[in-house]
């Protein structure tokens, strides 16, 4: 017979893992179609699709988790980075399978110039949602900040494979082209 001491961590792990897995499954079909449409969209339609994806990725499926997301996002927008990190950390504690929580906390860490923490959170974002082009873009920004133009350029290229009209990735590649080839325009 299994003791309660052994069973409790198993039940807790299951309770944490299953909602995240269900969230990922439920989101998959809706976002897959949007991602496919994004590849062929003109710039105006692409912006609309990007907003739809952002909305889909921000929905956790739980009112209380969505409230933490809103509070963290509001704090980040207001410049209260520490408060934002607190809200996003609480959200991650309660919903570790929620990729957007990791992405938003990475943005907050980036603002604090905590690049290692930001990279770790972006890595977790991409583990949970490999199609999160803004997380890939964020990694590119960090690598560019760290004067690693080749790595940044490659990351921007990955963004453009998914979202060919991503303006900031296009601008970044143009900006880095001279550093990559050794030529200036």
Give me the pLDDT at residue 99, please. 97
User: How would you label 43-57 residue by residue, b for 16+ Cβ within 10 Å and e otherwise?
Assistant: eeebeebbebbeeeb
128 domain residue, yes or no: yes
Report how many helices (DSSP H) and strands (DSSP E) the chain contains, helices first: 9, 0
**Residue 126 domain flag:** yes
Indicate whether 89 belongs to any domain.
yes
Q: Which segments within the chain are labelled E, that is strand?
A: none
Q: Identify whether 107 is part of a domain.
A: yes
For residue 88, being part of any structural domain is answered with: yes
| Residue in the structure block whose two tokens are 């944490």 | 16
Which residue in 132, 97, 92 sits closest to 109, CA to CA?
A: 92
Q: Summarize pLDDT for 111-147 with one digit per residue, the tens.
A: 999 999 999 999 999 999 999 999 999 999 999 999 9
Per residue in 65-85, pLDDT (tens digit) is: 999 999 999 999 999 999 999
* Those residues with Cβ within 8 angstroms of residue 117's Cβ, 6 or more apart along the chain or in another chain: 106, 109
Residue 3, domain member (yes or no) = no
pLDDT score recorded for residue 183? 58
Rounded to the nearest 10°, the torsion over CA 159, 162, 165, 166 is -30
Between CA 152 and CA 37 the distance in angstroms is 25
What per-residue confidence (pLDDT) applies to 179?
A: 82
| φ/ψ (deg, to 5) at 14 | -65, -45
Q: State the CATH number of the domain containing residue 70.
A: 1.25.40.10
- Its pTM stands at 0.81
How many structural domains is the chain composed of?
1
Asked whether 112 and 83 are in contact (CB, 8 A), the reply is: no
Quick count: other Cβ atoms within 10 Å of Cβ 172? 22
Structural domain span for residue 152: 15-181
In a domain, 9, yes or no: no
Is residue 22 one of the residues assigned to a domain? yes
CA distance 30 to 53: 9
């Amino acid at each position: 017979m299994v003791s309660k001491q052994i069973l409790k961590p198993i039940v807790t792990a299951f309770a944490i893992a299953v909602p995240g897995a269900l969230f990922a499954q439920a989101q998959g079909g809706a976002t897959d179609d949007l991602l496919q449409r994004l590849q062929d969209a003109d710039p105006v339609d692409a912006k609309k699709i990007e907003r739809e994806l952002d909305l889909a990725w921000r929905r956790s499926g739980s009112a209380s988790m969505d409230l933490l997301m809103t509070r963290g996002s509001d704090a980040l927008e207001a410049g209260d980075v520490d408060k934002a990190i607190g809200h996003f950390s609480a959200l991650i504690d309660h919903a570790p399978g929620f990729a957007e929580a990791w992405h938003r906390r990475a943005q907050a860490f980036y603002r604090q110039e905590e690049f290692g923490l930001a990279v770790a959170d972006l890595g977790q974002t991409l583990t949970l949602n490999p199609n999160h082009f803004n997380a890939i873009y964020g990694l590119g920004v960090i690598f560019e900040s760290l004067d690693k133009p080749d790595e940044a350029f490659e990351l921007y290229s990955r963004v453009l494979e998914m979202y060919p009209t991503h303006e900031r990735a296009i601008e970044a590649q143009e900006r880095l082209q001279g550093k990559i080839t050794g030529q200036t325009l």
